[in-house]
A and B are shown apart, each in its own frame.
Chain A
Amino acid sequence: MTAPRTLFRKVWDAHVVRELGDGAVLLYIDRHLVNEVTSPQAFEGLRAAGRTVRSPVNTLAVADHNVPTDNRAAGVAGIAEAESRIQVETLEANVAKFGVPYVPLLSKQQGIVHIIGPELGLTLPGSTIVCGDSHTSTHGAFGALAFGIGTSEVEHVLATQTLVQQPARAMLVRVDGRLGAGVTAKDLILAIIGRIGTAGATGHVIEYAGEAVTALSMSGRMTLCNMSIEAGARAGMIAPDAKTYAWLEGRPHAPKGAAFAAARAWWETLHSDPGAQFDRTVEIDAGAIAPMVTWGTSPEAVTTVDGTVPDPAAIDDPAIRGQCAAMLDYMGLSAGARLAGLPIDMVFIGSCTNGRLEDLRSAAAVVGTRRVADGVRALVVPGSGEVKAAAEAEGLDRVFIDAGFEWRDAGCSMCLGMNPDKLAPGQRCASTSNRNFEGRQGPRGRTHLMSPAMAAAAALSGRIVDCREFA
């Protein structure tokens, strides 16, 4: 009889190649996703040392960060900025030289790496998944152990298909009750981060459980796990269930027939055993959560849409007070200001956090036959070519275009300032992305993180507004 184990521990144990002493292990990596930004120096390292990619079959590359989200027909040559184009060309040269499978820019399957992995059925329960991108935690929604790594580790995985890993602690976030109407997975994760802080889960792998988590769709579960990194976690995971299996069955690279049944039999063992020990447990009441909006330059600087920004004068600690005042100054907000009613310049609906079909449906449902407010520029950027095609098949593109939104091609877009989609200095954006850091969406840009329904409502109103008013 083995001791009760957590979901995290089961997946970890199944991938230990050998112990390295002092708790460190060599961990086997099932799936390595590679992008154009964090891989050039890794391939360069391989070349310099005369090494090869050990297991191309476990590897998939795609360009997403630098790619423009319009004029896609021009392909890589159509990337106007030379440095961005060189990064994508470098990726293409590297995958050709090292024999790594690649989704080309012009493929219908191209998209944000964390959207296409699941979509292609390459993200499977119980697997270990890494990528040189912190939002790799997204894939934990399937019960995978998935985490972001640096470029040195990208090189290590390319060369050895393993990583040297230190043990992590286990944290349970249990969300009881149900989310109310108009309250989404995005609001839930923002509320969790607001509660535990951006360093709240440092050193931990979070397992999300409870009625409200089980009730989420796979899309919502991906949103939840995606922002685990914004709580400082090494990874976020959700135990697979019938919803997970139904979502995966029939995906291009998911197992088929008898292989699916065999896989499912193992997947069904992937849950935390009764009595499994967590180092920390956080309990959240789903029913108490309202639509959330960030007001500062850290995701923990968040409150409900009917809330107000803090008054630095009321903070005792001088360092915290100074930092709060600096955030308000950067964001152009006065102490104690109400968030609802704040005018916005831009709206961004997309990213690995909220660029899936369900997110676009949720935004479109708010839009209906209304129009984007005068003076507001609003972008809808599907997370992948497949998401774009599926949305067009059900007419969502018409809803957005008729309302005055720009309907774009797949990529990371305005989540980070690496491609032409950027904020101008001082512009205020209602964004469905994951980070409100200073300059994240463009130098001096101001980001308010929120759900797709909230961002759509902001686009229509020209101001931050409770999306439930549009129900």
Chain B
Amino acid sequence: MQPFAKLDAIAAPLPLENVDTDKILAAQFLKTVHRAGLGKALFAALRQDPDFVLNRSPWDRAGILVAGANFGCGSSREHAPWALLDFGIRCVIAPGIADIFYNNCFKNGILPIRLPGEEVTTLMTLASDPATAPMVVDLKAQTVTAAGCAFHFDVDAKRKNDLLNGIDEIAETLKYTPDIDRHEAMAQSQRPWMRTAYS
């Protein structure tokens, strides 16, 4: 996974609530067996409109998306963050971000940031003007800075560390194999009925 430290990029405003992962990446694009190449399908229905923000300069080069509440709700499809990443977006800022999508972002080097509504409103206004759309997201300092205002954000310590260092989570977990073996043996003796294979 690509590490995330500091991002200096254009922020695009998407002032919609409840943007679901079907809207981010529609079902007809889920038939790929690869991760790459989904950027062109990102927000496909919305992008049919030439005036949609991601079709216009400078936001067609956006690296940050500022969105309304409950962003990424619905389907668990990781194709949604893959499409954002393929487009070039490394950070999503919203007053609320749905749990599965939030989690999926971290696995792909995207930083999802939940901020209070009024702070997102401020960033949304700044993002809407090309002159103030460039923003800096500093994961180490946990700040978003734009046109002189700076907002602090919260992030779990482990997720922050993994993202800063581009950690391969599976390799990390495999170091705990003895613990997993021990747990499995204990569970097997306490709940032997659980380990039945489909046949």
Contact = CB atoms under 8 A, between A and B. Distances in A.
Contacts of A41: 33-35, 78
A319 interface: yes
Contacts, number: 207
Contacts of B180: 17, 26, 28, 54, 160-162
Contact of B187 (A28, A319, A440): A28
A21 B158 CA distance: 8
B147 interface: no
A313 B185 CA distance: 62
A18 B179 contact: yes
B143 interface: no
Contacts of A234: 99
Interface in A298-346: 298, 300, 319-320, 323
B22 A253 contact: no
A182 interface: no
A417 interface: yes
A199 B100 contact: no
A148 B77 CA distance: 9
Interface stretch (B3-11, B67-75, B83-91): B67-75
A149 B76 CA distance: 6
A20 B22 contact: no
B35 A266 contact: no
Interface stretch (B51-59, B129-137, B167-175): B167-175
A202 B98 contact: yes
A197 B16 CA distance: 15
Contact of A83 (B31, B74, B157, B177): B31
B23 interface: yes
Contact of B104 (A21, A30, A152, A166): A152
A150 B23 contact: no
Interface residues of B, number: 60
A88 B139 CA distance: 40
Contact of B196 (A23, A86, A253, A298): A253
B54 to A, nearest CB: 17
Contacts of A84: 31
A54 B184 CA distance: 12
Contacts of B68: 319
Q: Which 3 A-B pairs have the closest CB atoms?
A: A152-B107, A255-B193, A150-B78
A262 B193 contact: yes
B70 A160 contact: no
A37 B30 contact: yes
A150 B103 contact: yes
14 contacts: A17-B180, A30-B194, A38-B78, A87-B33, A90-B33, A101-B199, A124-B193, A152-B78, A153-B107, A199-B98, A229-B74, A262-B193, A418-B28, A439-B26
A276 interface: no
Contact of B183 (A28, A122, A439): A28
A62 to B, nearest CB: 9
B110 to A, nearest CB: 11
Contacts of B158: 20-22, 24, 164
Interface in A115-166: 120, 122, 124, 126-127, 132-134, 147-153, 155-156, 159-162, 164, 166
